[in-house]
A and B are shown apart, each in its own frame.
Chain A
Amino acid sequence: MSHTDESALAAERTGTAQRLASAVVGVGLVTFVLSLLSVARILTEETTLLGVGLYDFLALGALAMGVGVVVLGVGSRTGAFETNPDDTPGLVTAALFGVGAFVVAGLVASQTLGLGTLGWFALAAVSFVVALFAVALTPEDIGSTLPAGGVAVGAAALVLGDVLAPGFAWEPVGFSATFTGAMVAPLVLAVATLVASWAAAKAYEGYGSRGRQTGAYLLVGINAVGILTVLAGLLAFIALKGVGPATQGFSLVPFEWPFVTNGYSYQPDIVNGVYPAIVGTVWLVVGAVITGVPVAVAAALFLTEYAEQGRFVGAVEIATNGLWSTPSVVYGLFGYAFLVPRLGGSTSLVSGMLVLGFMLMPLCLITSREAIKAVPDEYRDASAALGVSQWETIRSVVLPAALPGVLTGVILGVGRIAGETAPILLVMAGGLRDDAPDVLGSFEFTSAAPYVANDALLQSAPALPYQLYATITAGVSAENAAEFGWATAFVLLVVVLSFYAIGIASRIYFRRRLNA
């Protein structure tokens, strides 16, 4: 052993061990991301990489990592690499491997060996204890690398040995689900590569507290990568499925995009589209913002600037939080039972606007209050000392300074309500239509009070999320329901992201104006 007695002041980063550890982590990241993509079925077992089937490719990666990690551990113990390990990998690491051993032993005992209720548990429990103590009582370099290497090699062997082949299927008793090899294999490989990368990250810094720091950094960081992967995967998945049907008949010159500019005409030879639903969704959001945001901002101003901080404000706060966590279908039911009978008796666009406006209110109120509270009191003092009244101060100083924060609330709220389906189903639902709600064109002056009428507001209107739900589950459209649904989902995503983009752009604009 050639452990340095004291940890070196400067970490050695150029040795063989460091290069090996970096390679393991690098392979691990690639394998991990590819595995996640396979779990999401964006990549499938039919894909081939470098002439090898995807799953075998992943398994080879895991195998290489496992071997690499074992070499790192053994190398440290035999003195080939200079390291500074603790006496034990720590109780948490030991417990993690213990739980892993419990699961593996339990599965093997019950599924492969066919042991009964008591038998599998006894074996699993013994494995847990053995693994726990075995890991806890070995020095850190061996204790954290050998089990991790074992996990990686074992997982790789299962896949390479065709035990976890894509054809594998397991239907546990009492479950109505079937676990297929196609899904389980990449999942097992993802976990195995994560564990092996973690061990390699510790080895990179020569174990000890510096090693654990790097290991934790890797684990935390890989979670962020995982989130990004999920988001990117979701977007890519929707886009892959939806772009095709959504761009049917698309041409740039002359500009034609039938899916976006057509309605649903039920006629042959004409591409059916979602134009009415896009218009409906945009009007919904506009109406909800007009009804919800001013009320919310005004209430936030009253609660923050005028009201005495006491029971009343507390009660309003509790009510706001309650409103925010109320399920959307309950809002919908309220709209159906209260608004619809009072607004023409049938589902209508205006009922939808109002219900979504109510849903928008609590979030906007909460975020606006925070934004107004964050405006420095110095501004209010300065304005008061100039003899400016409180309302003028709020209007000219407080509100402009709070505007970016208020906008953040509106952005979040619009993101939520634009995709809301349940309330729309109850208060606004219009089926697939050929004509879009013509809100601006329907304003009419009448000879009797109230002298203004708008028929479009009082009629049912389509909206993207509801239409998506209807086409997928209810089979409303006769042909190509699934394709039409994917295309609708893609357009809905684009519409919601456009609202986001508008909100974020205006927030940036107002923030710029505040800060020089």
Chain B
Amino acid sequence: MSETKSIDPEMTDEPRTTTTGESDEELRAEWTAYDFEGDPKLSVDGLDVHYGDEQALHDISIEIPERSVTALIGPSGCGKSTFLRCLNRMNDRIRAATVSGDVTFEGRNIYEDDIDLVELRKRVGMVFQSPNPFPKSIRDNIAYGPRKHGDVRTGLLAKLTGRDDAAREEELVEESLKQAALWEEVNDRLDDNALGLSGGQQQRLCIARCLAVDPEVILMDEPASALDPIATAKIEDLIGDLAQEYTVVIVTHNMQQAARISDQTAVFLTGGHLVEYGDTDQVFENPRSQRVEDYITGKFG
């Protein structure tokens, strides 16, 4: 295999300068410390991500409080989606990506070698930008995770041994769909193919599918960007409800959306730097960084 060559070989060796001419040192001094009550659910410390020779994230350190909504905002290509995918190691699926630094969840660094990815992703679920239900029935979509994890036993063998969990599965499907505010719309056609649902319904189905494996953290990568305003409003309401029970981290392009639904906001700016992190009201109304203020007021990005 050929080694991928960077266009500029000095790019990763020299202190990197951003488009606005600030160096790493200057940026590190920015306002990313955030004091909150309660325990952090996820702590990230010194996270760097490279795609080949390209550095996508620079030294990210952040603590995410539990049972709240944390929004990640920033212009295109600022690394916010990359950061989100680091939190459940979905970046492992991209061969060129290398991650260094610590992500602590439940007291363990998830980038240690002996971490069980199955367990990690069960507990840190993810909802993607475009709705991606499986080409199966609505019921099978929801029950997919629990069945695979052995939480509900169905099928011939389970029936023969008398350990069939069909009733429990039914309950789980109903509960998950109710949590995702989809039950009313689909309860009479659970055996229909999920691809027959509308885009907004499909996305809520994906949320329900994620909830069915009973995660603690839900990562959402621009979950409403492919949806119309009415479907978006439903998803936003849903996110607010979910925060009662779950820790939600959401990437969004839409600053108004971040302001509406999140408790705290982290702003990433071009080049993969976390520039400001704090209470959403404070970040939007009184940003401490000049660049963040420029971004929020629409002067760039």
A residues sitting closer than 8 Å to B (CB atoms) are 308, 310, 376, 378-389, 392, 396-397, 400-401, 513-516
Given the interface pairs A382-B128, A515-B195, A516-B196, the reply to whether A396 lies near B121 with Cβ below 8 Å is: no
B121 x A386 contact (CB < 8 A)? yes
B144 x A386 contact (CB < 8 A)? yes
Q: Which residues of A contact B144 (CB under 8 A)?
A: 383, 386, 388, 396
Q: Which residues of A contact B193 (CB under 8 A)?
A: 513-516
CB < 8 Å neighbour of A386 from B125, B192, B195: B125
CB < 8 Å neighbour of B120 from A310, A387, A388, A392: A387
B117 x A387 contact (CB < 8 A)? yes
Asked if B206 is at the interface of the complex by the 8 Å CB criterion, the answer is yes
Q: Which residues of A contact B149 (CB under 8 A)?
A: 387-388
Q: Which residue, B130, B132, B213, has most C-beta atoms of chain A within 10 A?
A: B132
A387 x B119 contact (CB < 8 A)? yes
CA distance A515 to B196 in the complex (A): 8
Q: Which residues of B contact A397 (CB under 8 A)?
A: 134
Asked if B299 is at the interface of the complex by the 8 Å CB criterion, the answer is no
Chief secondary structure at chain A's binding surface: helix
A382 x B134 contact (CB < 8 A)? yes
Given the interface pairs A310-B1, A516-B195, A516-B196, the reply to whether A381 lies near B210 with Cβ below 8 Å is: no
Interchain residue pairs A-B with the least CB separation, the first 3: A387-B121, A516-B193, A378-B132
Q: Which residues of B contact A384 (CB under 8 A)?
A: 90, 93, 121
A515 x B125 contact (CB < 8 A)? no
Instruction: Contacts A381-B128, A388-B145, A388-B149 known; list 4 others, CB within 8 Å.
Output: A387-B119, A388-B148, A396-B148, A400-B135
Asked if B275 is at the interface of the complex by the 8 Å CB criterion, the answer is no
Q: Which residue, A386, A397, A514, has most C-beta atoms of chain B within 10 A?
A: A386
B132 x A379 contact (CB < 8 A)? yes
CB < 8 Å neighbour of A381 from B90, B145, B195: B90
Which range contains the number of B residues in contact with the other chain?
Answer: 20 to 34
Q: Which residues of A contact B130 (CB under 8 A)?
A: 378
B195 x A387 contact (CB < 8 A)? no
Q: Which residues of A contact B136 (CB under 8 A)?
A: 400
Q: Which residues of B contact A389 (CB under 8 A)?
A: 118, 148
A385 x B118 contact (CB < 8 A)? no
6 A-B pairs whose Cβ atoms sit less than 8 Å apart in the complex: A376-B132, A386-B121, A386-B122, A387-B213, A516-B192, A516-B193
Least Cβ–Cβ distance between A209 and chain B, in angstroms: 42
Asked if B209 is at the interface of the complex by the 8 Å CB criterion, the answer is yes
Q: Which residues of B contact A387 (CB under 8 A)?
A: 117-122, 145, 148-149, 213
Interface set, chain B 106-147, CB cutoff 8 A to A:
117-122, 125-126, 128, 130, 132-136, 144-145
Asked if B68 is at the interface of the complex by the 8 Å CB criterion, the answer is no
Asked if B88 is at the interface of the complex by the 8 Å CB criterion, the answer is yes
Q: Which residue, A308, A310, A516, has most C-beta atoms of chain B within 10 A?
A: A516
Q: Which residues of B contact A378 (CB under 8 A)?
A: 128, 130, 132
Q: Which residues of A contact B148 (CB under 8 A)?
A: 386-389, 392, 396
Q: Which residues of A contact B128 (CB under 8 A)?
A: 378, 381-382, 385
Q: Which residues of A contact B117 (CB under 8 A)?
A: 387
Q: Which residues of B contact A514 (CB under 8 A)?
A: 135, 193
CA distance A400 to B196 in the complex (A): 18
B135 x A385 contact (CB < 8 A)? no
Given the interface pairs A387-B117, A387-B121, the reply to whether A382 lies near B135 with Cβ below 8 Å is: no
Chain B 53-95, CB-CB to A under 8 Å as 1, else 0, gives: 0000000000000000000000000000000000010100101
Return the chain B residue nearest A375 by Cβ: B135
Q: Which residue, A380, A384, A397, A400, has most C-beta atoms of chain B within 10 A?
A: A384
Q: Which residues of B contact A382 (CB under 8 A)?
A: 128, 132-134, 206, 209
Return the chain A residue nearest B116 by Cβ: A387
Q: Which residues of B contact A400 (CB under 8 A)?
A: 135-136
Return the chain A residue nearest B145 by Cβ: A386
Least Cβ–Cβ distance between A97 and chain B, in angstroms: 54
CA distance A379 to B141 in the complex (A): 11
A386 x B120 contact (CB < 8 A)? no
Q: Which residues of A contact B192 (CB under 8 A)?
A: 516
Q: Which residues of A contact B213 (CB under 8 A)?
A: 386-387
CA distance A387 to B126 in the complex (A): 10
Return the chain B residue nearest A378 by Cβ: B132
CA distance A376 to B119 in the complex (A): 24
Chain B 132-176, CB-CB to A under 8 Å as 1, else 0, gives: 111110000000110011000000000000000000000000000
Least Cβ–Cβ distance between B259 and chain A, in angstroms: 27
A385 x B88 contact (CB < 8 A)? yes
Q: Which residue, A310, A379, A385, A396, has most C-beta atoms of chain B within 10 A?
A: A385
